[in-house]
Amino acid sequence: MDKTVLVTGAGGFIGGHLVADLLRQGVKNVRAVDHKPFDSWYQLSPAAENMSRDLMTKEACYEACRGVDEVYNLAADMGGMGFIETHKAECMLSVLINTHMLMAARACGVARFFFSSSACVYAAEKQTDTDVVALREDDAYPAMPEDGYGWEKLFSERMCRHYAEDFDLVTRVARYHNVYGPHGTFDGGREKAPAAICRKVIEAKLSGRHEIEIWGDGQQTRSFMYIDDCLIGSQRIMDSAVDIPLNLGSDQLVAINQLVDIAEDIAGIRLERRYKLDAPKGVRGRNSDNTLIQSELGWAPSIRLEDGLEKTYRWIHDEITRERSRVQGTAAE
Compute the distance between CA of residue 97 and CA of residue 88 in angstroms, rounded to an integer: 16
Q: Does 178 bind ligand NAD (CB under 6 A)?
A: yes
Q: Does 75 bind ligand NAD (CB under 6 A)?
A: yes
The closest of 181, 260, 261 to 224, measured between CA atoms, is 181
Compute the distance between CA of residue 296 and CA of residue 299 in angstroms, rounded to an integer: 8
Cβ proximity to ligand NAD: between 15 and 145 the closer is 15
Task: Give the one residue of 87, 100, 183, 192 binding ligand NAD; rule: CB under 6 A.
Answer: 192
Exposure string of 262-286, with b = 16+ CB inside 10 Å and e = fewer, is bbbebbeeebeeeeeeeeebbbbbb
* Cβ partners under 8 Å of residue 294, min gap 6: 300
Distance of closest approach, residue 312 Cβ to ligand NAD, in angstroms: 12
CB 104 within 8 A of CB 41: no
Candidates 174-182, 252-260, 278-286, 293-301; binding stretch for ligand NAD (CB under 6 A): 174-182
Of residues 108-127, those binding ligand NAD (CB under 6 A): 116, 118
Q: Which helix (H) or strand (E) holds 327?
A: helix 305-332
Q: Answer yes or no: 149 catalytic.
A: yes
Task: Give the one residue of 4, 5, 6, 9 binding ligand NAD; rule: CB under 6 A.
Answer: 9
Total interface residues for ligand NAD by CB under 6 A: 25
Cβ proximity to ligand NAD: between 110 and 120 the closer is 120
Q: DSSP readout, 240-264?
A: SS--S-EEES----EEHHHHHHHHH
Distance of closest approach, residue 237 Cβ to ligand NAD, in angstroms: 13
Candidates 24-32, 50-58, 204-212, 289-297; binding stretch for ligand NAD (CB under 6 A): 50-58
According to DSSP, residue 39 is labeled G
According to DSSP, residue 25 is labeled T
Q: Does 193 bind ligand NAD (CB under 6 A)?
A: no
Question: DSSP 3-state assignment of 79?
Answer: coil
Distance of closest approach, residue 270 Cβ to ligand NAD, in angstroms: 28
Distances (CA, A) of 163 to 19, 168, 281: 25, 7, 35
Sign of the dihedral through C-alpha 139, 141, 143, 145: positive
Task: Give the one residue of 83, 114, 176, 313 binding ligand NAD; rule: CB under 6 A.
Answer: 176
Sign of the dihedral through C-alpha 36, 42, 44, 45: negative
Distance of closest approach, residue 317 Cβ to ligand NAD, in angstroms: 20
Cβ proximity to ligand NAD: between 176 and 186 the closer is 176
Binding mask 26-45 for ligand NAD (x = CB under 6 A): --------xxx---------
Task: Give the one residue of 76, 108, 132, 195 binding ligand NAD; rule: CB under 6 A.
Answer: 76
Distances (CA, A) of 328 to 200, 213, 324: 20, 26, 6
Q: Does 150 bind ligand NAD (CB under 6 A)?
A: no
Distance of closest approach, residue 193 Cβ to ligand NAD, in angstroms: 10
Distance of closest approach, residue 288 Cβ to ligand NAD, in angstroms: 11
Compute the distance between CA of residue 117 and CA of residue 246 in angstroms, rounded to an integer: 9
Of residues 211-250, those binding ligand NAD (CB under 6 A): none
Compute the distance between CA of residue 15 and CA of residue 13 in angstroms, rounded to an integer: 6
Among the listed residues 42, 72, 149, 313, the single catalytic one is: 149
Q: Does 170 bind ligand NAD (CB under 6 A)?
A: no
Distance of closest approach, residue 211 Cβ to ligand NAD, in angstroms: 27
Q: Which residues bind ligand NAD (CB under 6 A)?
A: 9, 11-15, 34-36, 54-56, 74-78, 97, 116, 118, 176, 178-179, 185, 192
Catalytic machinery residues: 149
